[in-house]
Structure 1
Amino acid sequence: GISKNGQTREHALLAFTLGVKQLIVGVNKMDSTEPPYSESRFEEIKKEVSSYIKKIGYNPAAVAFVPISGWHGDNMLEPSS
C-alpha cells in the first residue's frame, strides 16, 4: 500500500500541483508479492492509490496502472508475458 507520509502521495500531489494532467502508475516489486505477481495484491494497491489520487483531483479511471518489477525489468520497456 501507500504510507501516509510516503513518496507516492507526495509525488502525486506534486504532479497535480505542477499541472501534470495524466498519470501512469507503476506498481513496483510485483515479483515480491505472495504469490509472485499476485493479481489480488495489485488490485488492492490500485484501489488504495486510486482513492488517494481522486482526492487530489485526478480521475482514477483515466490513470493507467502497470504491474512492474524493477529488479527483473518486467513491464518496464516492453510488455511481459
Structure 2
Amino acid sequence: DFIKNMITGTSQADCAILIIAAGTGEFEAGISKDGQTREHALLAFTLGVRQLIVAINKMDTTKWSEDRFNEIIKETSNFIKKVGYNPKAVAFVPISGWHGDNMLEESTNMPWYKGWTKETKAGV
C-alpha cells in the first residue's frame, strides 16, 4: 500500500525529497540491493521526477559526523547517477528531524555544513 501511494503522489511531483537515515546499519540497509532508498530513487526518476533533494537524517546519531555525511554522499551519488540523476545537481542536506537541525535554520551542531551550490555544465 505504501509503494502504491508513493507512486500516485510521485507521478504528479516536480521535485522529490529522498530522506536517508545516517545511522550505522540504517543507511547500509536502505542503499543495499533491495533497500527502500534505492527503490524510491529509482521510482522517482522512472516516474519523471528530475529534481531531487537528499536529506540525510538522524545526523544526531552520528554525533554530527562530517565524515559520515560525506561517506553517505559518495555512496548515494554513485547510485543516483546510475538511476539517471546528475549528483552535481542534487542538494545533499544533513538534518536531524528529532532535534530540528537544518530543518528551518542553520544548525550550530554542524558548523562544517555551508549549504549547497548547484554545479552546471558552465561551472557553478
User: Counterpart in 2 of 1:39?
Assistant: 66
Aligned partner of 2:58 in structure 1 is 29
2:77 is aligned to 50
**TM-score, scaled relative to structure 1:** 0.90
Which residue of 2 is the match for residue 15 of structure 1? 44
Aligned to 1:79: 106
Q: Select the structure of larger CA radius of gyration.
A: 2
For 1:37 and 1:58, locate their aligned partners in 2 and report how far apart those are by CA, in whole Å: 27
In structure 2, C-alpha distance between the alignment counterparts of 1:78 and 1:44, rounded to whole Å: 24
Equivalents in 2 of 1:62, 1:20: separation in Å?
A: 13
Amino acid at match of 1:68: I
Q: Percent identity?
A: 77
* Secondary structure of the structure 1 residue equivalent to 2:33: coil
Deviating beyond 6 angstroms after TM superposition, the runs of 4 or more aligned structure 1 residues are none
Q: Unpaired segments of 5 or more residues in structure 1?
A: none
Which letter does structure 2 place at the counterpart of 1:43? N
Tell me how far apart the structure 1 counterparts of residues 84 and 70 of structure 2 sit (CA, whole Å).
21
Please give the alpha-carbon distance, in whole angstroms, between the structure 2 residues aligned to 1:59 and 1:79. 26
Alignment partner of 2:106: what SS?
A: coil
Whichever residue aligns with residue 74 of structure 2, its letter is: K
Deviations 1:24-59 (A, max 9, x none): 0000110001xx110000000000000000001000
Q: Which structure has greater strand proportion?
A: 2
* Paired residue type of 2:79: Y
Superposed CA RMSD in Å reads 1.1
Structure 1 partner of 2:10: none
